Structure 1
Amino acid sequence: MTSRMLAISLRTFLVIAMLLISPLSPAATTPAESLLQLHQMRLDTQKSLSSFYMYNNMEGDQRYARMIDEAISQANQALAGLQDLNGDSSKALSGQLIELWSSYESNLKQLVSTLKAQGYTDLQPVADLAEHNQRIMALSQELYSKIEQESGYSVPPLIQQSRKQSLLMQAIAVDYSSRSASVGATFMGGGDSRSIEELVSEFASTLKQLSQAPENTDQTSETLNNVGTKWNYIEKSLKNYNENSVPFLVSKYSDSIIEELERLSSQYAAAST
């Protein structure tokens, strides 16, 4: 199974799992579904930027152009699932998010076209894109909290923690790929301005906490072990990014770790039914 097919299968399973633990409503998307869609949109937003940096790093390697297109397409699909929000504030924030994303998508596609045509991009548009990415991440987090507040529904703690870990891994990938790209380390995205050392430390600490959770089953423990094995493989490179840059390796393993973490979320959801 290809990575893309696996990601689609995981998303389908996650939606089913969320439906099992949420009251069904024929008229509107449930809060659990909306929050899952929003989480996936946030991952895709970060992925689009890290893939752009990798496209720059690898001198126009078309696999990263395809990854950008896939991230854009999946983010649009996720946003389409946020049309039936119940709360007035949530609806307003959702409208702002859709508008902000639309302009980001346009700017990203323009930069990709420029890179294809001339082999490089000016620095300022890339800096603007990264800042745009951060604003999307901030607004989407505000919307996530508002949906929970207005609906009275809260994502179960272990599912929430595993989602945060996915986003953190993607933020690390964005940071690392930006440092390796010719645009320089100044242009970071993902909505987190902390140093890569801090991000790496938090990921390792949270992974340990998840692994020690008493609610873990044989299945979730196996998935966490898979995450840990892959994390151990790149952790040293992340900590020593100035000594031996390996963006392709970090990008590949980050994607695989995120897939495992999304699988973990679905397993926690299924176990809570």
Structure 2
Amino acid sequence: MTSRLPAILLAALLTLPAFGSTQEAPADNLLKLHQMRLAAQRSLGDFYMYNGMEGDQRYARMIDESLQTADARLKELGAMPGDTTKALHAQLAREWQTYISELTGLVAGLKQNGYTDLQPVADLTERNRRLMELSNELYARIQQEGATQVPPLTQRSRDQSLLMQAIAVDYASRSASIGGSFIGTAGGKALDELAGEFSQQLTSLEQAPQNTPEIRQRLDGISTKWRYIESSLKNYNEKSVPFLINKYSDRIIDGLEDVSARYAAAQS
């Protein structure tokens, strides 16, 4: 594991009082919080890939990058618009410190021992689930207390990115099968069900009348990549291809985030 992970933890602890110290528009806070959610969720998938690929250092670097991105976006959040959002923000920051510490410890243990026990991984998965719940609640409350609303198509494309990330994490978890056990991460839904949801929602985005030629072109590229991995997700018990799913999910999410930004620019 790279030496920067402990440094991230130390830096996060040292700078905790600075959270919310700058002024940002609610829309900027919402974008940064969304990006934090994606990176935090991805860090768990990176860990599963690191474990499943027997300590492949490329995934150690990816864990590092995901943690750095999530940590940076959380620190960049500006002042919260009300008392509830302030309390949720502080709670999310504390939960994040604990998550970094737990993930860093698991990676160090895996590097040293070559394996990890099931219970600490289950605890990490639960911590990540709690992070997502808190960040989602904060995301909703910022809109309420900040008297702002994410435009519908921007929100739908962001939700699509989060769904793709959840699918990728769940697939990586199944492939890792730590201790011979599968630790589910997608709220109890089967992967084929999640894949069906993604496909349906992507079709809905493609049919949006507000789509510009540029957005249609990018959605078409996303659809092409999705069709390439869709059958593997719907038939996940037949053949495990975690590297393929990981690679293409990243590209699909990048494409969706580009589309989301274009929607936001068009609707602002």
Instruction: State whether TM-score is above 0.5.
Output: yes
Query: How far apart are 1:185 and its partner, in Å?
Result: 5.9
Superposed counterparts of 1:16-35, under 5 Å: 28-35=23-30
- SS of residue paired to 2:259: helix
Aligned partner of 1:231 in structure 2 is 226
1:41 pairs with 2:32: no
Aligned partner of 1:150 in structure 2 is 145
Paired residues, number = 246
1: CA distance between counterparts of 2:183 and 2:73?
A: 26
Aligned partner of 2:249 in structure 1 is 254
Aligned partner of 2:53 in structure 1 is 58
Amino acid at match of 1:92: A
1:138 pairs with 2:133: yes
Superposed counterparts of 1:118-267, under 5 Å: 118-183=113-178, 186-189=182-185, 192-267=187-262
Identity %: 57
Instruction: Indicate conservation of the 8 Å contact 2:29/2:78, yes or no.
Output: no
Instruction: Indicate conservation of the 8 Å contact 2:88/2:138, yes or no.
Output: yes
Q: TM-score, normalised by structure 2?
A: 0.89
- SS of residue paired to 2:239: coil
2: CA distance between counterparts of 1:120 and 1:69?
A: 19
2: CA distance between counterparts of 1:265 and 1:155?
A: 11
CA RMSD of aligned residues (A): 1.2
1: CA distance between counterparts of 2:242 and 2:182?
A: 17
Query: How far apart are 1:86 and its partner, in Å?
Result: 2.0
Query: How far apart are 1:122 and its partner, in Å?
Result: 0.5
Gaps of 5+ in 1: 1-26
Return closer, same or farther for 1:205/1:235 CA change in 2, 3 Å cut-off. same
Aligned partner of 2:9 in structure 1 is none
Q: Once superposed, which parts of structure 1, at least 4 consecutive aligned residues long, lie more than 4 Å away?
A: none
1: CA distance between counterparts of 2:232 and 2:146?
A: 42
Aligned partner of 1:11 in structure 2 is none
| 1:2-34 C-alpha deviation (Å, 9 max, x unpaired) | xxxxxxxxxxxxxxxxxxxxxxxxx72100001
Return closer, same or farther for 1:263/1:114 CA change in 2, 3 Å cut-off. same
Query: How far apart are 1:83 and its partner, in Å?
Result: 4.1
